[in-house]
Amino acid sequence: MRLSIITPALLASAVSAARFILHIPSTQLVNPSTLLSTTHATLQSSGAPINAYLTRSNSFSFSNIPAGSYLATIHCRDFAFEPLRIDVTIEELVEGSGEKKEVVKAWQTFLGNEWDNKGELKGEGGNGLVVEVKPVGAKYFYQERSGFSPLSFLKNPMILMALFSMVLIFGMPYLMDNMDDETKAEFEEMQKKSPLTGGSANPAQSLQNFDLAGWMAGKTDQGSTPRSESPAPGGKKK
């Protein structure tokens, strides 16, 4: 189907030429009247691209475009536009009448995809067709400099960890004081069982002499420090 359209078009390319207009509508993203005059549109097919400048009515007017299949791109400093595929063909409107007319069709196209992979039909008609082209986004050139902000400082995991331990150190005694006697006793019992505290008077010392291998082996003896018992690496005094 596709080939059958293009082939007569190529043959007739010398005979006739089409004209059409790409128009930038006013959208929320961009007021087209503010676009720079360096904004221009190109039609690429073979050889040098055909160029059209931005007019006062926010459009690009192409005239004398020979039949063919074109990639239309809009180049603008501040906004990115979606590319279009524009096919110009010469067709007989009524079969056998011999009367030929230019037909212009415009589709969305996707770079890096097959050319036949067309998107939404953007417009179809004869000479003087107006196709709307919409910007897809503003171009932002600059990188943000990450300055000092208290929030980003707080987001740092190290700071969060430090804050958490601060809360524990200062908040725990307060919590203990507010506990009723029963839970307090239960908690102390739990602490005694805990391998880290080990019932020793000096928690720091017991931490240093903690017998990892013994603990892992499920040893349960308490009271005296297991200083001489094991040559396990974890238990060595540093």
In the complex, the residues that contact other proteins under the rule CB under 8 A are 3, 36-38, 40, 42, 44-49, 51, 53-56, 64, 68-69, 71, 73, 75-77, 80, 83, 85, 109-117, 119, 139-148
| Residues 51 and 70 sit within 8 Å (Cβ to Cβ) | no
To other proteins, the closest distance from the beta carbon of 138 in angstroms equals 9
Between 49 and 125, whose beta carbon lies closer to other proteins? 49
- Map tokens 């958490």 to a residue: 164
Least spacing, CB of residue 6 vs other proteins, in Å: 9
Task: Decide whether 1 or 3 has the Cβ nearer to other proteins.
Answer: 3
In one-letter notation, the amino acid at residue 122 is K
Spatial distance between the Cα atoms of 226 and 115, rounded to a whole number of angstroms: 78
Q: How far is the CB of 195 from other proteins (least distance, A)?
A: 29
Residue 213, classified by CB atoms within 10 Å of its CB into exposed (0-12), middle (13-18) or buried (19+), is middle
For residues 73 and 206, which CB has a smaller minimum distance to other proteins in the complex? 73
Phi-psi region of 195 (alpha: psi -120 to 50; beta: other; left: phi over 0): alpha
User: What is the separation of C-alpha 18 from the centre of its chain, rounded to a whole number of angstroms?
Assistant: 40
CB-wise, 130 or 217, nearer to other proteins?
130
Query: CB of 84: closest distance to other proteins in angstroms?
Result: 11
Nearest approach, Cβ of 89 to other proteins (angstroms)? 14
- Give me the sign of the Cα torsion angle 210, 211, 217, 223: negative
Instruction: State which residue, 134 or 219, has the beta carbon closest to other proteins.
Output: 134
